[in-house]
Amino acid sequence: MRGVVMHAPGDVRVQEREDPTIVHPTDAVIRLAATCVCGSDLWPYRGIDAVDGPAPMGHEYAGVVEEVGGAVTSVRPGQFVVGSFFASDNTCEICRAGYQSSCVHRESLGALGAQAERLRVPLADGTLVATPGMPDDTMVPSLLAASDVLGTGWFGAVAAQAGPGRTVAVVGDGAVGLMAVLAAKRLGAERIIAMSRHESRQQLAIEYGATDIVTERGDEGVARVLEATDGLGAHSVIEAVGTQESMTQAIGATRPGGHVGHVGVSHDVSLDGRRLFFSHVHLHGGPAPVRRYLPELIDLIWNGRIDPGRVFDLTLPLDRAPEAYRAMDERRAVKALLRV
Amino acid sequence: MRGVVMHAPGDVRVQEREDPTIVHPTDAVIRLAATCVCGSDLWPYRGIDAVDGPAPMGHEYAGVVEEVGGAVTSVRPGQFVVGSFFASDNTCEICRAGYQSSCVHRESLGALGAQAERLRVPLADGTLVATPGMPDDTMVPSLLAASDVLGTGWFGAVAAQAGPGRTVAVVGDGAVGLMAVLAAKRLGAERIIAMSRHESRQQLAIEYGATDIVTERGDEGVARVLEATDGLGAHSVIEAVGTQESMTQAIGATRPGGHVGHVGVSHDVSLDGRRLFFSHVHLHGGPAPVRRYLPELIDLIWNGRIDPGRVFDLTLPLDRAPEAYRAMDERRAVKALLRV
């Protein structure tokens, strides 16, 4: 089959890869309808994370089940399914508490490479959720978004306790940040401050429910949020970048007793204990337990209540994956969808 | 009046200080029944925090109102009162949300020096809570504990979401840690693991409700908690020390999705963002909003439902404060009460 492989920073190729097969009786093999490039794929692409030899890429996927192992009972060949970037048994104590991305049996899909024609999904019963029927093509981008960016933005908004009567600020205007705006709106937030310097992203943020735009960053950005909240800070702040600046900005923009939901994969971040102590914030985040939200998110998409697929502003066939990486690297695209 | 003044690390004296008077119409002046030495007083005593010239000491207090300013309406001369180490208006949006120790008008009582015969308390209406009547002498230590260590341990347990069905671990066997054990028990925790190497403190922890004792620290301590919790970690961990080791231990001993309540005043702590991210814990803490809990804590003490005063294992008259500091510094006492 064809699949994306990263050979070195900046060197991404679409090449022949071995077809996946059932390895464990709990596996499923799916034929992808679409996959995409993640902001986190840009870390190795930019040489910030190491690339250790050729690595299959991609961890976001939606498609049709082709084959299941003998122990799989909840999905069957022919069903359209969405899954998370971590496979989970969905039965252990950690899963049952809603933290499937820390499942005691979790496996990263990243290593398996979802930017490909087919994908082996471990622990299929606990990982995949079938849609009510076969979606039409226009719905595929939204279902694919549920696989990671929507679920991650949603977790960020839940972790930040976005909800009625609360002012929410979102640090980061990438796909996850935009999805966090959508989630905050859907969760009933009264006011949503999107922090963005890019006009097209501001526009999408507003369409997704942002009520205020703050273009400043760092201390100035914090000052704008404080000004907008009677000097107190937002009740809820979603951190969707993962840098020292964004994390500092998120904590600084949160009022005492408020909640920071951090979902940007942390890079070189170091938190000063004393500042954190006196900030009085709640801090929660990590790799989003997307599986927790998948049934609800699929339902919202299936019924046309949310349209997260608009976050994909570039669509290319799988074979043109290198262009997709370049466009995202150069910030010409928020998020690129690859049609398989 | 007589009061405790720190002149330099290790140099604490009881000397004549100016009598406090009403400065603002919202002030009260109280005559202390008792005060005490806090673990945090040991940081400058040990030279870890700087001592900038002679400084009045103490921020924990309980006593009788002597005089109130013209704007004070909720307490009156003759009443026995307890207050927190931060004065708060208890009416601002932050106070109403339960974070009185980050009140927009907060004032630290520490600078005013509660280890003395009398104390001016700013924002008396929002800071002081009167007991239902005049307590007898045996109840004074428990009421004094409510002023800081009990309220702080309680906040730690609430922040860590200690409650029914949950396994709680407490890092730190000082007064706050012991109070956190009491709080976790009172909040209905199923199992309480006290981390302590000192036999007398272990004994008190057990009397306050600890079900397990772990004597190891650091990675070994974490390993013991994991062993005791099917490899998952505790649901709730209260960090009551404030060092890098204790914070690392607390996060490491918490299961994914669990809660860390950190109430040890943070010293030289730096949290690795990536480790925090993948730990999946909730982190909340800071200076305890003791005022939030005072009415409930006073009620529990008044009705004999809790006995936090036993945490004072040394009682001396105010004039012997230097001995109290020494005993705590040398860990011969958990917490020293000073009778005024």
Residue B98 touches partner A, C-beta closer than 8 Å:
yes
Residue B131 is predicted with a pLDDT of 98
Residue A98 touches partner B, C-beta closer than 8 Å:
yes
Query: Which of B98, B278, B287 lies closest to A286 in CB terms?
Result: B278
Residue B43 near residue B55 (C-beta atoms within 8 A): no
Q: Tell me the mean pLDDT in the region B61-81.
A: 98
What domains can be seen in chain A, in order of their start residue? 2-148+289-339 (3.90.180.10), 151-285 (3.40.50.720)
φ, ψ for residue B89, nearest 5 deg: -80, -20
Euclidean distance between CA atoms B237 and B260, whole angstroms: 5
Enter the ipTM. 0.96
Residue B23 has pLDDT above 90, yes or no: yes
Q: What is the CA radius of gyration of chain B?
A: 19
Residue B40 near residue B149 (C-beta atoms within 8 A): no
Q: Tell me the mean pLDDT in the region B22-43.
A: 96
Query: Which of A99, A232, A255 lies closest to B280 in CB terms?
Result: A99
Q: What is the pLDDT of residues B137-191, one digit of tens each?
A: 999 999 999 999 999 999 999 999 999 999 999 999 999 999 999 999 999 999 9
Query: Which of B99, B242, B247 lies closest to A280 in CB terms?
Result: B99
SS3 assignment, position A290: helix
List for chain A the helix, strand, coil content (%; round to 5).
Answer: 35, 25, 40
Of A46-55, A56-65, A192-201, B59-68, the least confident: A46-55
φ, ψ for residue A229, nearest 5 deg: -130, 40
- The share of chain A scoring above pLDDT 90, in percent, equals 96
Residue B52 is predicted with a pLDDT of 86
φ, ψ for residue B39, nearest 5 deg: -55, -35
Q: Which two tokens stand for residue A103?
A: 């499942």
Q: Which of B79, B60, B57, B58 is nearest to B68 (CA)?
A: B79
Question: For residue A269, what is the nearest residue in chain B, using CA coordinates?
Answer: B273
Residue A281 touches partner B, C-beta closer than 8 Å:
yes
Euclidean distance between CA atoms A234 and A160, whole angstroms: 10
Return mean pLDDT, chain B.
Answer: 97
